[in-house]
């Protein structure tokens, strides 16, 4: 009995460590806070600056795919530790890139290296917690990835303050330093310490272990009956889940990449006539950062809320509701029917809750459909959908901003149709 009690306590320590790690990793979603200052300071174009974010997400998804394989083969601690080192190092290199005005280094540092670290560190808690919590898969994966969504809230609040404190101008009023370098130096060290320290808590449960009194529901595949990665990949259901995840992420990431600029355009009419230019600029930056911060809270809350709801009503039903409601709201935004800053914030909160909810619900969806024994590989490789969506979504919003919201609505409509057609695989 003491051994069972100790294992029950250990799994909650792992859950807390996962939340701390994900808070650090999720700061990438506050990229739009840094994008404007980088463009102004260095004259970098929108597409070139946005490419850093796209490359980060692409690298994240790719690393998660291979990281899931490593988690199953070598254990979670090694993979998570590697992720923390790369994520912190890449952030430090991003600070150097700003300091020396080198776009290529920004792509390599924050785009490639930090992105790879993010992916390795992200997939490890998901794969590990689904094994430790077969009785609460939706809840615990929701808690973990809630941290990822909430990370942007803290960066959305702290980032603008740090930028303002660290930026410098010459006597003529010309911006000399954007403040990004010092901000990234500080956070790079924080990430190195926090993520790698959290990684040391990770381990897999003993083989065959289940919480006291727990049995699998009839419609859920037990760990003993789990499909192998190769078997899962041969099912149409795996590819349907991949597509569902891709479509939800592509729409959400596109919106996230432009949250601050869209919010600033809607806030502009509220500025008082004749307001000094520097104060007006500061107010616009505050307005954009506030939307990023507040919607990020709901990105996190949506991960916990939708995942928990899925424990009761089912994973498929949750995706049906999320897709259907998002289609309507993206169409409203695309048609220009939302012109109020605060209403846009409210809608943004719900859309990011659905975006985050997809991330939290899908690991449980995959584990229910294929079993948890090989979930590191099965779900990890499914995160290649994140890689592709990380390029497609932001690129759509950068290249065709006038029609991007309509395209996002179309992607979500396709997701609704695919979800309607999903049926769990039959295991013989």
User: DSSP secondary structure string, 147-182?
Assistant: HHHHHHHHHHHHHHHHHHHH-EE-TTS-EEE-SHHH
In-domain check, residue 273: yes
Tokens of 196: 């790698």
Q: Please, are residues 257 and 394 in contact by the beta-carbon 8 Å criterion?
A: yes
What pLDDT is recorded for position 145? Answer: 77
In-domain check, residue 214: no
In-domain check, residue 408: yes
Tokens of 231: 């078997």
Any alpha helices (H) in 200-336, and if so which ranges? Answer: 229-233, 236-257, 259-267, 277-313, 315-334
What pLDDT is recorded for position 224? Answer: 63
How many domains would you assign to the chain? 1
- Is the pLDDT at 328 greater than 90? The verdict is yes
In-domain check, residue 393: yes
What pLDDT is recorded for position 2? Answer: 43
Work out the average pLDDT over 163-181: 73
Residue 270: band (very low, low, confident or very high) from pLDDT cuts 50, 70, 90 = low
CA distances to 79, 232, 302, 305, 404 from 353, in Å: 28, 29, 4, 8, 20
Mean pLDDT of the chain: 86
Residues spanned by the domain of 23: 2-204+225-420
Which CATH number do you get for residue 408?
1.20.1250.20
In-domain check, residue 218: no
* Range from 33-47, 110-124, 285-299, 382-396 carrying the lowest mean pLDDT: 285-299
What whole-number percentage of the chain has pLDDT above 70? 90
Looking at per-residue pLDDT, the higher value among 250 and 260 belongs to 250
In-domain check, residue 215: no
In-domain check, residue 310: yes
Distance CA 100, CA 80 (A): 30
What pLDDT is recorded for position 1? Answer: 42
What whole-number percentage of the chain has pLDDT above 90? 40
* Range from 4-13, 73-82, 301-310, 345-354 carrying the lowest mean pLDDT: 4-13
Work out the average pLDDT over 255-267: 83
In-domain check, residue 64: yes
């Amino acid at each position: 009995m003491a051994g069972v009690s100790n294992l029950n306590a250990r799994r909650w320590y792992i859950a807390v460590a996962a939340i701390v790690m994900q808070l650090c990793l999720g700061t990438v979603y506050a990229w739009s806070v840094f994008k404007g200052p980088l463009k102004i300071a260095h004259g970098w174009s929108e597409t070139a600056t946005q490419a850093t974010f796209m490359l980060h997400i692409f690298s994240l998804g790719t690393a998660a795919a291979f990281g899931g394989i490593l988690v199953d083969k070598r254990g979670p601690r090694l993979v998570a530790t590697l992720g923390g080192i790369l994520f912190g190092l890449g952030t430090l290199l991003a600070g150097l890139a700003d300091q020396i005005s080198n776009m290529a280094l920004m792509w390599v540092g924050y785009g490639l290296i930090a992105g790879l670290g993010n992916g390795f560190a992200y997939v490890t808690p998901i794969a590990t917690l689904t094994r430790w919590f077969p009785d609460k898969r939706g809840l615990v994966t929701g808690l973990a990835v809630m941290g990822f969504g909430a990370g942007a809230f803290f960066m959305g609040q702290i980032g603008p303050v740090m930028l303002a404190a660290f930026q410098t101008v010459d006597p003529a009023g010309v911006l000399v330093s954007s403040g990004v370098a010092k901000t990234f130096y500080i956070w790079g060290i924080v990430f190195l310490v926090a993520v790698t320290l959290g990684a040391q808590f990770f381990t897999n449960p003993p083989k065959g272990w289940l919480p006291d009194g727990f049995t699998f529901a009839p419609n859920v595949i037990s760990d003993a009956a789990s499909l192998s990665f190769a078997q899962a990949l041969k099912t149409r259901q795996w590819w349907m889940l991949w597509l569902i995840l891709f479509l939800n992420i592509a729409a959400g990431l596109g919106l996230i990449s432009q949250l601050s600029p869209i919010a600033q355009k809607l806030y502009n009419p509220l500025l008082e006539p004749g307001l000094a230019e520097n104060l007006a600029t500061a107010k616009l930056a505050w307005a954009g950062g506030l939307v990023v911060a507040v919607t990020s809270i709901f990105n996190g809350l949506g991960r916990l809320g939708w995942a928990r709801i899925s424990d009761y009503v089912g994973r498929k039903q949750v995706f049906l509701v999320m897709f259907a409601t998002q289609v309507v709201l993206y169409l409203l935004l695309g048609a220009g029917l939302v012109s109020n800053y605060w209403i846009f914030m409210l809608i943004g909160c719900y859309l990011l809750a659905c975006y985050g909810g997809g991330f939290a619900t899908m690991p449980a969806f995959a584990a229910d459909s294929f079993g948890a024994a090989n979930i590191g590989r099965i779900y990890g490789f499914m995160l290649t959908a994140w890689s592709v969506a990380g390029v497609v979504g932001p690129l759509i919003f950068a290249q065709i901003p006038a029609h991007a919201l309509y395209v996002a609505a179309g992607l979500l409509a396709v997701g609704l149709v695919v979800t309607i057609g999903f049926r769990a695989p039959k295991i013989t």
